[in-house]
Amino acid sequence: MTPLKTNRGFTLIEILIASGIVVCGLVAVAFVFSFAIRTNGTNRQMAIATTLLYDKMEEFKSASFTDAIWMTATGSETLVVAGEQYVRTWRLGGEVPRTITVIVSVERSALARRETELIRATTLVSPTF
């Protein structure tokens, strides 16, 4: 008679435990990917908003105090950049030196259905330093 060989391999319990650990790891990786995608979208919106804000500030900086841009106390414009709608609003205050406040907001997707302010900057401008 031949001796019985010991079975080599994994038991069903060991395979179930290992599968559970792998599934938990894959769920965590999927969560990290979704978080990274949302963060990338938010960072893209912030970069565009910052560019729009600085463009408006440069427009005020390069205009003389007698230009038409300085005649209105408030203004607003809607811009579509990279498929998203941004609203750039500005307010002028005081005489000399004048304060300029520029606000850039974005219209969110249909899920959020609200306008969100991304960046705001205020500065003082004077014809002479």
- Counting the structural domains of the chain, the total is 1
* Residue 5 within a domain: no
* Residue 36 within a domain: yes
* Residue 79 within a domain: yes
Per the listing, tokens 């750039």 go with 88
* Residue 81 within a domain: yes
Burial of residue 65, with CB atoms counted within 10 A of its CB: 0-12 exposed, 13-18 middle, 19 or more buried: exposed
| Candidate from 7-11, 34-38, 87-91, 120-124 with smallest mean pLDDT | 7-11
DSSP helix/strand/coil, 52: helix
Percent of the chain with pLDDT over 70: 89
Angstrom CA distances, 51 to 4, 10, 25, 122, stand at 77, 59, 39, 15
* Residue 105 within a domain: yes
* Residue 110 within a domain: yes
Burial of residue 49, with CB atoms counted within 10 A of its CB: 0-12 exposed, 13-18 middle, 19 or more buried: buried
Residue type, 118: L
Residues 8-51 have pLDDT tens digits of 778 889 999 999 999 999 999 999 998 888 888 888 889 999 99
CATH (domain of 61): 3.30.1300.30
* Residue 117 within a domain: yes
User: CA 7, CA 4: separation in Å to the nearest integer?
Assistant: 9
Could you tell me the residue range of the domain that residue 88 belongs to?
A: 12-125
Q: Say what the pLDDT of residue 110 is.
A: 44
Dihedral through CA 60, CA 65, CA 67, CA 68, nearest 10? Answer: 80
Q: Helix-strand-coil percent breakdown of the chain, rounded to 5?
A: 40, 30, 30
Higher pLDDT, 89 or 34: 89
Maximum C-alpha span of the chain: 111
Taking the whole predicted model, whether its pTM rises above 0.75 is answered as no
* Residue 22 within a domain: yes
